């Protein structure tokens, strides 16, 4: 489900101000309060905001898993920038593993520009997009995580264990100041750990909205990967790998 331009404007206002009343949002967007309430209901159902009496704020509970369809609408400009930078690491003839994250999925148009590429992913939406671009694609089977397009479980773990891609692009929910990468969803975390173990080159994709946060389950640290791709610099980050901006 996509969001409207006004709903995106509401998210931007909440990002800037933290909390706003319905009345304030109506004035700032030149919209009726009834329309704002309908927009807030949509954004609430997408798990993008927290509604309170008389207003709303952004949903910021780090250890709460956000549905994939909600992730696809978040920080789109940042994810496009990250994917464009990460695409400089692509070469013709590569086998590419993309994890279940929405961020990794933004690489598909860039992969399609190269010759003789193969994509592996456990995200059904990413796989479908890759097929539509004409890229030879393997969708790693399993069960749906949190009723999303991301697949995990024993079947998926066994499949990933047998794949050693040339390059892995992955993301996660959180990156703290010590370079620890973590996530609130154990199934996604575990399948990523197998991907990391088998990939020849490991690239972490992270937008600035995830900086200085920590989720429940630790995945790895940036010391264990080849490169990080950010949309902004990360001051005070203890980085010992290549940083691409």
Residue 78 three-state SS: helix
Q: Which two tokens stand for residue 226?
A: 């080849």
Global model pTM greater than 0.85: no
Q: Are the beta carbons of 160 and 199 closer than 8 angstroms? A: no
User: How far apart are the two ends of the chain, measured CA to CA in Å?
Assistant: 30
Task: Look at residue 93 in the predicted model and tell me its pLDDT.
Answer: 98
Task: Look at residue 2 in the predicted model and tell me its pLDDT.
Answer: 58
Report pLDDT digits (tens) over 31-90.
999 999 999 988 887 767 888 778 888 765 444 455 544 454 456 888 999 999 999 999
Length reported for the chain:
245
Task: Look at residue 155 in the predicted model and tell me its pLDDT.
Answer: 93
- Which residues, listed in sequence order, are joined to residue 55 by a DSSP beta bridge? 21, 52
Task: Look at residue 74 in the predicted model and tell me its pLDDT.
Answer: 58
Which domains are present in the chain?
5-60 (1.10.10.10), 69-244 (3.40.50.1360)
- Which residues, listed in sequence order, are joined to residue 49 by a DSSP beta bridge? 58
Task: Look at residue 13 in the predicted model and tell me its pLDDT.
Answer: 86
The segments of the chain whose pLDDT lies below 50 read: 1, 61-64, 68-70, 72-73
Task: Look at residue 202 in the predicted model and tell me its pLDDT.
Answer: 98
Nearest-Å Rg of the Cα atoms of the chain is: 19
């Amino acid at each position: 489900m996509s969001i409207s331009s006004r709903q995106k404007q509401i998210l931007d206002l909440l990002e800037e101000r933290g909390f706003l009343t319905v009345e304030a949002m109506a004035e700032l967007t030149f919209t009726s309060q009834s329309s704002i309430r309908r927009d807030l209901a949509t954004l609430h159902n997408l798990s993008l905001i927290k509604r309170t009496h008389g207003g709303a704020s952004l949903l910021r509970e780090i250890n709460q898993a956000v549905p994939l369809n909600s992730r696809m609408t978040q920080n789109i400009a940042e994810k496009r920038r990250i994917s464009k930078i990460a695409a400089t690491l692509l070469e013709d003839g590569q086998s590419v593993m993309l994890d279940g994250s929405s961020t990794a999925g933004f690489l598909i148009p860039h992969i399609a520009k190269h010759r003789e590429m193969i994509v592996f992913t456990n995200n059904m939406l990413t796989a479908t997009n890759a097929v539509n671009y004409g890229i030879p694609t393997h969708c790693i089977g399993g069960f749906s995580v949190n009723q999303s397009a991301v697949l995990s479980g024993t079947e998926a773990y066994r499949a990933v264990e047998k794949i050693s891609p040339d390059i892995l692009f992955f993301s996660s929910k959180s990156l703290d100041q010590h370079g620890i990468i973590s996530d609130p969803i154990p199934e996604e975390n575990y399948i990523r750990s197998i991907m990391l173990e088998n990939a020849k080159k490991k690239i972490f994709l992270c937008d600035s909205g995830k900086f200085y946060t920590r989720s429940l389950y630790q995945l790895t640290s940036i010391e264990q990967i080849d490169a990080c791709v950010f949309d902004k610099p990360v001051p005070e980050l203890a980085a010992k790998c290549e940083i691409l901006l």
